[in-house]
Every structure is written in structure tokens, then in C-alpha cells.
Structure 1
Amino acid sequence: MQTLPQTRDLVLIGGGHAHALVLLRWAMNPLAGARLTVIDPHPTAPYTGMLPGLIAGHYARADLEMNLVALARHAGARLILGRANGLDPVAKSVSVPGRPPVAYDVVSVDVGITSDLPQLPGFAEHAVAAKPLGGYAERWAQFLASGRAAPQIVVLGAGVAGVELALAMEHRLRAVPGRTITVIEKDSALPHLGAWARARLLALLAERGITLLSGTQAAAIEADGVVLADGRKIPSDFTLGAAGSRPQGWLADTGLPLTDGFITIDPELRSTAHPDVFAVGDCAHMAVSPRPKAGVFAVRQAPVLHHNLRAALTGGPMRAYRPQRDYLKLISLGERKALADKWGLPLAGRGLWWLKDRIDAKFMRMFHTLPAMPAAPLPREHTLGLVEALGDKPMCGGCGAKVGPDALRRALSGLAASGAVELGAGDDAAVLAMGETRQVIATDHLRAVTEDPYLMAKIATVHALGDVWAMGAKPQAALVSLILPRLSEDLQSRTLAEIMAGVSEVLSAAGASIAGGHTTQGAELTIGLTVTGVAGDRILTKGGARPGDALILTKPIGSGTLLAAEMQKRAPGRAMAALWPYLTQPQGAAAAILSPVAHAMTDVTGFGLAGHLDEMLQAGGVAADLAMAAIPLFDGAEAMAAAGVASTIAPANRAALLGRIAAPQTAAAALLFDPQSAGGLLAAVAEADAVPVLRQLEQAGFTAACIGTIRALDDQPALRVI
């Protein structure tokens, strides 16, 4: 089947409302030849219209979060979890700290606004900003859980957001005696509302016992209160910043035309000086028809933005965005009531809350119920077994795409070492004897688990080095073997630059270098490395574990299940964001701690923890007991396993251990058969060494645990899970 090459890079900076809606539209009709990238520091994006309802207790946090990880997968986009801090419209690149610049042909900016309140003395230590939502929601939940008596709250800013949140917090604390809430505003409160709505909200603040201090501002935040410019101090146990909005500082260094720090755009939503740069939402200033900063405009801009981005990539005609003159403002009143502000009409009550709730729920339903994209139908005539071999889920990437252990063992049976090559009993690396020097050599490759070439390169390199580290050797050199999807020459260069930057970063940190490699084109990205390492006086193998040894694991398990869930758009965004740092965590420092004391060691990869431990047991002629509760699991993995998610190779891993393992039928135990890409080290050490080794590993930044013990073979299954 012919695959079409990608020829243009479209980059979306920020996961704001407009970009989220563009991703939904893109998923339903992707543009052939375009490679789509989303850059955002967070794996989820909040729908801010529901924030007061969350604080008041009417919604759960998940109700107002868009899962950018699932949304990017739905749209076929790569998601870069990082905060853009620069854009060069001449070089056509975006700066993201900690990685190579991201090149673009067309770029759109939807990064919202920020606050100058963190510049206030003591704010960072003793206060929290209303945005981003995550920090505020977590601090508020902790504050509620503390059960503080007579809580004192201060809100900085009496715009609509500050007043809504003050009313929401008052509603949540209404049953707590002695509570006080103070709202501080340097100018007049609620400046952008109609007269009736403003008067009603000010009266409601007074009715609820919320104090409004206008014409003054905070000079400093202290642990127990807010110091005002006139010297007064307002006691506070919880200080919230909901004011001081300003443009993102890095926009000033882009060279783009700005108005008061915001990107100046024309009616087609393009920069007035750079037609390949688009901007929407609060970070943009509409030169022809200026409007206040409000989410409704970002939502209405989305269809025009989607059309014009495609036009910029295809050379088609643009459409102009024409904003409405006025819009309906639905303001939460703490309890399940709302107030409407449009045309000066005096409307408030439960009916408006019902309307607002329905509008918000309908908007979020688009992101919470991402439809499954239909698979290509099979030919009418096909061979027996094709349906069963294809399965009902997409094939996993990483180690989830490996061949099953039984099939591999049958293929390798009968092979023997010859000449200068020494093969351990089932070890994954060979040892080359050259006089008195012994060199370890191993090879591995991974089918991409992420559309981000830089991130995938780091994962693949850490993964390939695992066999060298597991044998106690020091990495020396690597040959890189790449399969790139079909790309134009420009995109090939960009992709190769990102891949080689990722590979080089990991190898350099490990003390190794790139010796060469090979590239070819294929259906999808695959990154492989052949690595060498210099062995010391002692080479660790999978054999050598002794009864009484403790089993030490240096990374959690469950990555294969999470990666499978991500492919199915079911993985929690925050769980995926937490997973990536583990998959790019090198194990060289862990190997240096374990190698001097380990009796046997391996890395946990495609055959799962149970499969690789069983290799150690067979090589050493011993058995083992695992404590399931002691095995660290990646966040979200057990829940996904309980929901029936499993990696492609997991059934084969389980089948290979029939008769050799006794384990409970639980979701957690299912993760024992889960393939791990760039997994941790598993070492057998003397019981006396376990505690000191664990302490060293934890101090070195590893999530290490003692997960079981080695025992002598008996009439029980070789591997028992308790």
C-alpha cells in the first residue's frame, strides 16, 4: 500500500481552546502531506469556564480537563510536553528548553496570558495563581483537607474571575464558622460588566459576607497575610492571585509586531508582518476589530483558524474572522445559580446555571468522547487466520511489538558461540574476547511509541544501552540504524537532526559516542542501535543468583500497558507525562551501584518482569518469591490493566510461563507480563547488601525497591507471586 510523504510542518504552540478545537476538526479530516505538532507544558488543558464550579464542589477535576495526550493521538499529532519560550519567524523555529528547536512551515500561537503577581514579594512562597488550574486545584484541595478552623482567604483581583472564585470558595466553606474572605482590587471592581450585573454582584458579595477593598493593592505576601501598599495587613491562610494579567514575556523577543505585548493579527488571524505565523485567543490582538480578552472569541476563532491553516499549507484562499459585537457572559454565583450579562438585561437564577452547565457539558463532551477512527476494511477475500493474526487492537510500539519469547527461543535453539564470541546462558549481549580485553556488544531497536523523534531517540538509546549496563560494562560506542517514514528532504533533515540530538545526548552522558550508522525509509519510524561496552574484571550475567538473595528493581513496571492505552486514547494525560521521564532515565548510575555486589543482573524489557526474572532463575537453577505489594507500578497502569488494556506481546509473555509461575488473577499481577521499553535493572544481591544498595539507589534518584527473594528449587512453581 502506498504511503504519502509528509512535506510541511504545522506547529501549534499551546493547547488553548482554539487549538483544541482545531485538533478535533483535524482528526476528522487530516491534511495529506502535513505533519502536525502540538507544544504545551501540560498533558491536560482546563476549560476555564468550569473552574468556579470545580472550586465550589459542583464538578470533579476530570470534568473540566481536556486530555491533550489523547487529543494529539486522535489528530495524529506529536505532542511535545514543554513550554515554548521563543519563536524565530526568520529561521522558522520554536524554542523549547531542554530539546532542539522545533522547525515549522506554518505556526499558530494560542498560549493565553500570564500574570505579573508572581513578581510580588512572597507570592511564589505563600500564594497561588488561579492559572494554571492544576496548582490552584491541588492547593485548594489540600487546604480543604486540612480542616482549618475559621479559615481566612484573600483574593487579589476583583474582575469577573476574582469575584466568581471568591463566591465559589465562600460556597464551599459556608458551613465553616468564622470564615473570612477578602477581595482586593487596586482599581474599581468588575470594570467590564453592565451596570445591572455589576451592581448585583457587588450586592451579592456583601450578602455573602465577602469584604471588598477597592483602591488599594498588595505590596507583599507573607505566610500569615497580605501586606497592603498603605501598610495594613490582611490576615490570610490561603491567598489567591486572580489579577495582574499580562502577555507572555517571550513574545517581546520574537520580532513579531505587537500591541501592548500581544501579537497583532489581521482578519485572517495572521501576524501582520509574517503570514506564516497565526495567533488566536488571549495572546492575540485583533488590529481591525479589537475585543476584550474572553474565551468565547477563541472558541469562535477555531473554525476560521482551522480553515486558514489548511489554506496556508495548500495555497488555498483564506477566510476572514468577524467577531460578534457583544456576547453572553454567564457568571457563576457560588451555589448552583448564575447571572447573565448581555444588553443590560437583569437575568439571574437557577435556570441560568442550568443553561451554563448544559453549554459547558456539551463543550467538554466533544473532548471526553473522542470517536474511534474506523480501521481500513479487510479485502473481501483473505486467508484463514488473517483476522485472528490482525487482532482487534492496533499493534503496540516499543517492546510491545517484539516477537513472543517462545517463538524467539525456537528460532535461536541450536545456535552456539564460536571463535572469540562468548555467549552467556540466555544473555542479551555477546562478549568479544580480544586478548585480555573483553568487549560487550548488543543490539536493539524499537518501533516508535511517540510521534516525537527527539523523545523517541532518547528512549531507544536508553533501551539499547540496558544490555551493556546489565552486564556491568561501560558504554563505548554505538551504530545507529534508522527507518524514517516517507518525508520530503526538508523534513528528513529536521527529523534526523532531532533524532541524532536525542541519541547523542544519552550516549554522551553515558560516556559513549556515535560511530556511524545507516538510514532507510519505510512505513513508520523505527530507531535501533548496536552498542559496545568495555567490560571490567567481572562480567555480570543472568546466572549466579543464590538462595537467600534479595531481588532489587530500579524502575516501576506497567509502561507497556500505558503505551497501549495511549494508542487507544484511553491513557490519563498526567500518567503519560509522568511516564516519559522514567523511559528516558539512564541506568548507568544504577548499574555502577549494583554491579560490585550483584550476583546476577538483567534489564527488564520485552518479556516483562516475570519473563526476565524467569530467565535468571533458569540460568541459575533457582526459584523466587515476589511480593506483589512491593513492586512499584507506574501511575495509572493498574487501572488501565483493570480496564482490560494490555500490550500486544503480553499474552505471549504469559503463555511462555505456563506451569512456571503461580500468581493471583489481579490487574496488578497482569503487569508482571507487561513489556517494558527502556525498563529498569533487576539484580540479585546478598540480603545483607539490600538495604545499603536501596539507600544508594534512592539517593541517586531511582525509584528502586526490594521486590522479592531467591529460594532453592523445590516442587513448587519456580516463580511464586504473593
Structure 2
Amino acid sequence: MKPSFHPFTRDLVLVGGGHSHALVLRSWGMKPLPGARLTLINPRPAAAYSGMLPGHIAGHYTRDALEIDLVRLARFAGARLVLGAAEGIDLSRGEVHVAGRPPIGFDLASIDVGITTAMPEIPGFDEFAVPAKPLEQFAADWQSFLQKSGPASVAVIGGGVAGAELILAMGHALSQAGRHAKLHLIERDTVLTALPARSATRLRAALEQAGVTLHEAAKVQAITQYGVTLDGHEIAADFVCGAAGARPHSWLAETGLAQQDGYLSIDPQLRTSDPRVFAAGDCAHMPFSPRPKAGVYAVRQAPVLAQNLRTALRETGTLKRYHPQKDYLKLVSMGGKSALGDRLGLSFAGPWVWRWKDRIDRKFMSKLKDLPQMALPALPDPRAAGAAELGDKVLCGGCGAKLGQGALMAALCEGAPEMPGDDAALVRIGDAELVFSTDHLREITADPVTMTRIAAQHALGDIWAMGGQPRTVLTSLVLPRMSARLSSRTLEEIMSTARAIMSAAGAEIVGGHTSQGAELTIGFAIAGECDGTAIGLAGARPGDSLILTKPLGSGVLMAGEMAGLARGEDVAVALDQMIQSQAQASTLLKDAHAMTDVTGFGLLGHLRNICLNSGVGAEITLESVPFMQGALDLARRGIRSSLYPDNRAPFPDLADSPRHDLLIDPQTSGGLLAAVPGNGADTLSALREAGYAAAQIGNVTESTGQIRIV
């Protein structure tokens, strides 16, 4: 999230990452509204552009080409991104409900969640068919089917323009893959009724030429693993797609907002029946000027929506009216690189129309992919020496913002630096062994719930690394400056999340401290107890196997995300890995001779601590070290965390390569690194069965303090 020099006073929540909201985010990034906190809620880190979907299915575009990266867009807009599915709105409380997390409060909201083509009323649809919308899952399922070999039989339910585009695209892709295909298009009435007669005739001819069998006036009775059952006969099909019966998401019906057939009714200013809630795109109905569902309206609504949201947040000014166009240019893909065009009674087709459509689609996507580089505030002049060297560098969040180990040892130890200490302080009280640790993290994601989950697991890692059981917790929070109402909302999100995580870990939050500052910082001080002898850094023995329970790369991925260079999909995977609990891993590693959690000093830094305390060395097999999705690509591009230079200092002879760089990448809520007796095969198997991406990455050697990488 972009730093704000203005306290937040209003919450604007965008529900759904549709075309209108994507363009609103771009507009917001160009000119944010001071005092407004922007939140985007979407189930996935990317949203597919519907105009390029048939081209992707046909093989003309890669998946990346048609996906709007909402992580990058949210970062550009200074918005907090909540990755989750909205499942309701409580108008009385002003809250959006998202599965698996506390409600999100709003002062103003906008809904752009699109539609679905799922047909649960057809027996077998959920089990054996794929809806064309949402687009993301459909595209993934199609690619999996396309990779198979041998003859294919495909059926699309829905004989509208979308169904025709999809069956033609599928036929082209299967032909290019060398797979003989039988193609079926099923419609309960007459196909292509939405097109004027001349264009419908052209498209029918294209379907016939592609060998598509039309089933008109055909009612689908059921879908089975063998195909589609119609009135009296069955069509054999290996892949069944639902492209008919477009309908609103079911949860909209429970919002209490005025509707038409389940779609949210909006006025010319794009407001619903509640003036605090706007809506746009396919989920909205315009009773003042009814129009068919088409992406062109969502795109044209975006500038009006952006302006009206700003006006409503300012609580002054007049809302702008949206005037939908009476007709629009329809461009329909026809499988290969040929397309049909229709506008104002004119019908035309050919490769040149496809090239025209391709230019329009790419131009739209370029707006959302090629985001402008916004100028940083100018450094003051005159200024102290060295200020320019730091002023243009963004400080990483999480463990990437820590001080280097050298600086810490020099400050904390009198005289010559002593041996690095264990992950948590070990205190004996009577017969009990207690472990104490404290940790806090600077914001790496603007979503306070995800940030809390990461910070909690990160702090708990020190206790689990010593084989302890968490018991009591103190919280330490710094909230960005905001109004009392927004502070209360944010604190409730954080604390309800923290209580749930600590309770699941067997601990209780007994107190803490909160304050306001420049940015979100979340920390926990945890006390735990050990049933037996605590596991520390000392105790590793030559011949032990080194097991790592999480892949590396969170530092470079979050640095890349802050710079707008990381893929949103990769960032989402990294966040999921950072919130994974190490509780069960700690139990499975209870027989380890030495253990630590890999955090700010990177894998080599924490392994070095084990080696120095245990009087041993280590050998790492580089090819065995697991890396997070996308981390190697960013490392090859020279992306590094702020802490990279400090982490490299103890290893001057480390090879200069992307894989070696990731060995010293600072990890936030990283995995456990354990020295276990023998080859560790049984332990490794148990960890993987428990859901950990664990790996045996090397062995402990007799070469004291020496780490060899092979």
C-alpha cells in the first residue's frame, strides 16, 4: 500500500475485480483521494479479460496475456487486496462478509462480481461439467483437457454468441493439437438469436465449416461421465462446458438491495437502492435503459463510477449520469485468426476483422498491464551527505526490514561478539523449562488479516523451533493514522484473527499495547513451555540430515511485489506459504538434534548459527533446496531484498547465481531447519504427508563452521 501522509477517514470497498473495478483502480493510482482507504476483494489474484478468452482457448494468447494482475494493480492504486470470496453484505452494519475471515467494514462500497454460467439445476452438472464463467477456472480446466491425447468429443451448452465462440475456439485448438474432435453446440431454442440475421447466417456457416453439430430445441436432461443426455438420446462428450443460463451470484439475492431477476438494480448514477452501494458490470441491471450483458458496458461505466465514488466520498458535489450507448461494435472470434463484425446493421468477416479485434483487446489490456511509473517525492535540497543513496530505495517489509546479524551482534554483545543465541530465551523456573520470544513485522501486505496471520506464525516459529508449546501471548500493534472509527474496524480485524490463531496453537492472548504511527506493524511476545529438553542450536552431529520444511524466496517475492514486478499468482502462493503453521512440523521433528526457524538471516545465516553452536559444518545440495513459485525468475532479474547485502557479508566466497542468492534471502515466517539423525527419510515422508513442502537439503559434516554448497 502506498504510504499516506493523510489520516484515513473513509473506507471504500470494491467487491469483485471485474473490468469496471480494474479501471477504477488504475484511475485511483493516477490520482488517489487523500483520506480514503481503498480495499479490493476478489477470490483470485488475477481476473480474466473476457474479450480474449476465446483467443486463449484457441491457442492464440497465453494465459498471462488475458489476465489482469490484481496484485500489481492494487499495489499501484495503494489499495489493500483481500484474496477471498465475498458471500454477503450486511447493510445495517455496513460490512462485507468474506469467507474465512472477519467482516470488512465500509462507508462506501461498489460491486462488480460478474455472473456465473453454472447450472446446478441440471443433474450431474457440478460433477461432470465446467461453467464458462467464472473464466479463470474454465480456462485452467480446458488447458488440462487439451494436454491429453487421442480423439476428443466436446459439447457446449448454450447456443448464443459466447457458446459459438467457445466451440469454434475448442475445435481450432484440438485441430492444432492433432486431435480428431467431434464438436456439439446445444441450444434449447434457436442458436444465435441475439445477432442480426446476416451475422447469424455468417456464424452458422462458420460452425458448419468447422464440423460443429447443432442441437437446437434440445433440452438437457442430465450430464454424466459419458456425456450429455438430451430428450431421448445421449451425446458422447469428454468435455462439457456450460455457456448458457448466465445468472447472478446467489449471495446477491440476500443483500436486501433492489433487484431484477437477481441482478442489482442501479440508477443512472450507478447507485443501488442503498446510496452507499454502487454496482457495475454484468451483475448490475439498468432499469432506466436495459441492455444485454456485455463487457463494453462495464468498460464505459468505469470513468463514471470512478468519478461518482470520489464525489460520494467527499460528500459534496453532483454525481455524474451514465449514458449507455444504444449499439456497440460486436466482434466475434471464429476459431482461427478470423472474426465476425457487426455494427448498425452492417456485417463483415475475415482475418482483417480478427486483427482489428486483436488490436482493440491488446490496447485495453495494455492500460492495465503497462502501468505508468508515478514520480517519487523529490528529495529536499540541501540535504545531508548520503541521503540520496537511501532516499530512492524502498525498504522491504517483514524480515527484509530487519537489521543485519553483524550489527545486532555488535550492539547486543559487550566486547567480542559471542555465539549466536537460540531462537527463544530458555528460562528454568523450578522444574519447568520455559521459552520466551518476541517478534514483530513491518507491513508486507496491506490486508491486516493476512498480515496478522503471517506475523503470528512468524512469532510462533521461534517457540516451535525449540520444541516448545505456546501458552501466553502479548500483542504489540502500530496502526497507521486513521479516524477512531477506522481504527476500531482495523483493530477488530487484527485481534479476532490473532485470537483465533493463538487459540488454535494452544495459547491465550493476555494483554498488549497499541499505538499509532507511520505504518502497520504487528508483533507478538510469546511464552511457551517444553515438555522435555528444549531443542536449541547446539547438538547437531556429523552425519545428521538437514531438513527444511518450507521453500525459500519470500524476501525476493515481496521485494518484487513492492516494485510491481512479481506475478500476482506467485505472490498469492507465497502469502499462503507464509501463513502455514509449523506446529505439526515441530512435533514431527521432536527428535531433532538441533533446530531453528529460517527467517531474516536466510537459510545460510541460520544454518551457520547451528554450525557455530554445534561445532560442526554442513554440506548443502543446491538442487535439493526448494524455492517458492516465481522466486528464481525474480532472482534472475536481479530483484533482492533490502537485507541482502548484510546477509551476504558472512559469505564472501558465495557464488554469484540466482540459486545462491536465494540461500541468503531473508524469509518471513519461514520454515523449520532441523538436523535429524540418520537419513531422515521417515521424518521427511511424515512431513510431506502432513502437507509440508519439506525437503532433505544436505547433511551435517565435521568441518567446524564450514558450509559447502554442491
- Fold shared by both chains (TM-score > 0.5): yes
1:2, distance to aligned residue in structure 2 (A): 9.2
What is residue 605 of structure 1 aligned with on the other side?
599
The reply on whether 1:712 has 2:699 as its aligned counterpart is no
C-alpha distance 214-95 of structure 1, shift in aligned 2 (>3 A): same
CA deviations on 1:294-323 (whole Å, 9 max, x unpaired) are 100000000000000011100121001010
The reply on whether 1:404 has 2:404 as its aligned counterpart is yes
- C-alpha contact 2:419 2:612 (8 A) present in aligned 1: no
What is residue 662 of structure 2 aligned with on the other side?
671
- C-alpha contact 2:118 2:131 (8 A) present in aligned 1: no
- C-alpha contact 1:565 1:645 (8 A) present in aligned 2: yes
What is residue 292 of structure 1 aligned with on the other side?
292
What is residue 420 of structure 1 aligned with on the other side?
none
1:699, distance to aligned residue in structure 2 (A): 1.9
C-alpha distance 317-702 of structure 1, shift in aligned 2 (>3 A): same
CA deviations on 1:348-383 (whole Å, 9 max, x unpaired) are 112211111111010001111112221111112112
CA distance in 2, matches of 1:462, 1:36: 26
Name the SS of the counterpart of 1:60 in structure 2: coil
- C-alpha contact 1:506 1:586 (8 A) present in aligned 2: no
Name the SS of the counterpart of 2:687 in structure 1: helix
1:118, distance to aligned residue in structure 2 (A): 4.0
CA distance in 2, matches of 1:120, 1:669: 54
1:278, distance to aligned residue in structure 2 (A): 0.3
The reply on whether 1:393 has 2:393 as its aligned counterpart is yes
What is residue 432 of structure 2 aligned with on the other side?
437
CA distance in 1, matches of 2:338, 2:212: 17
CA distance in 1, matches of 2:157, 2:25: 35
- C-alpha contact 1:194 1:342 (8 A) present in aligned 2: no
1:246, distance to aligned residue in structure 2 (A): 0.8
CA deviations on 1:102-143 (whole Å, 9 max, x unpaired) are 100000000111124244222233222222233222222222
TM-score where L is the length of structure 2: 0.97
CA deviations on 1:268-316 (whole Å, 9 max, x unpaired) are 0001x21010000110111211111110000000000000001110012
What is residue 322 of structure 1 aligned with on the other side?
323
CA distance in 2, matches of 1:389, 1:264: 52
The reply on whether 1:584 has 2:575 as its aligned counterpart is no
Name the SS of the counterpart of 1:676 in structure 2: coil
What is residue 49 of structure 1 aligned with on the other side?
51
TM-score where L is the length of structure 1: 0.95
1:145, distance to aligned residue in structure 2 (A): 2.0
Which of 128, 139, 142 is matched with 1:140 structurally?
142
Unaligned runs of 5+ in 1: 418-422
CA distance in 2, matches of 1:440, 1:42: 39
What is residue 470 of structure 2 aligned with on the other side?
475
Which letter does structure 2 place at the counterpart of 1:694? L
Return 576-585 or 635-644, whichever deviates more.
576-585
CA deviations on 1:623-676 (whole Å, 9 max, x unpaired) are 1011111111110011111111111001210112225xxx54321221111111
- C-alpha contact 1:479 1:515 (8 A) present in aligned 2: yes
What is residue 159 of structure 2 aligned with on the other side?
158
Task: Name the count of aligned residue pairs.
Answer: 706
Which letter does structure 1 place at the counterpart of 2:107? D
1:416, distance to aligned residue in structure 2 (A): 12
CA distance in 2, matches of 1:118, 1:551: 50
CA deviations on 1:150-169 (whole Å, 9 max, x unpaired) are x2111111111100111112
Which of 94, 117, 120 is matched with 1:115 structurally?
117
Which letter does structure 2 place at the counterpart of 1:491? L
What is residue 168 of structure 2 aligned with on the other side?
167
What is residue 647 of structure 1 aligned with on the other side?
641
The reply on whether 1:638 has 2:628 as its aligned counterpart is no
CA distance in 1, matches of 2:650, 2:586: 28
- C-alpha contact 1:405 1:656 (8 A) present in aligned 2: no
CA distance in 2, matches of 1:572, 1:121: 38
What is residue 485 of structure 2 aligned with on the other side?
490
CA distance in 2, matches of 1:592, 1:240: 46
Which letter does structure 2 place at the counterpart of 1:206? E
Which letter does structure 1 place at the counterpart of 2:18? G
What is residue 78 of structure 1 aligned with on the other side?
80
CA deviations on 1:219-275 (whole Å, 9 max, x unpaired) are 2222222111x121111122121112111100111111111111111110001x210
What is residue 686 of structure 2 aligned with on the other side?
696
1:342, distance to aligned residue in structure 2 (A): 1.5
CA distance in 1, matches of 2:154, 2:684: 43
Which letter does structure 1 place at the counterpart of 2:708? R
CA deviations on 1:410-460 (whole Å, 9 max, x unpaired) are 11122899xxxxx98521311222122221111111001010111111111
- C-alpha contact 1:550 1:709 (8 A) present in aligned 2: yes
1:344, distance to aligned residue in structure 2 (A): 1.4
1:178, distance to aligned residue in structure 2 (A): 4.1
1:389, distance to aligned residue in structure 2 (A): 3.3
Name the SS of the counterpart of 1:539 in structure 2: coil
Name the SS of the counterpart of 1:117 in structure 2: coil
Which of 675, 691, 706 is matched with 1:684 structurally?
675
CA distance in 2, matches of 1:551, 1:585: 20
The reply on whether 1:245 has 2:246 as its aligned counterpart is yes
CA deviations on 1:456-505 (whole Å, 9 max, x unpaired) are 11111111111111111110111111111001000000000011012112
What is residue 531 of structure 1 aligned with on the other side?
526
CA distance in 2, matches of 1:8, 1:198: 50
- C-alpha contact 1:664 1:721 (8 A) present in aligned 2: no
C-alpha distance 664-121 of structure 1, shift in aligned 2 (>3 A): farther
- C-alpha contact 1:424 1:430 (8 A) present in aligned 2: no
Name the SS of the counterpart of 1:701 in structure 2: coil
CA distance in 2, matches of 1:431, 1:267: 66
Unaligned runs of 5+ in 2: none
- C-alpha contact 1:308 1:319 (8 A) present in aligned 2: yes
CA distance in 1, matches of 2:179, 2:504: 57
C-alpha distance 139-177 of structure 1, shift in aligned 2 (>3 A): closer
- C-alpha contact 2:473 2:525 (8 A) present in aligned 1: yes
1:536, distance to aligned residue in structure 2 (A): 2.3
1:208, distance to aligned residue in structure 2 (A): 1.9
CA distance in 2, matches of 1:77, 1:577: 16
CA distance in 1, matches of 2:267, 2:141: 40
Name the SS of the counterpart of 1:516 in structure 2: strand
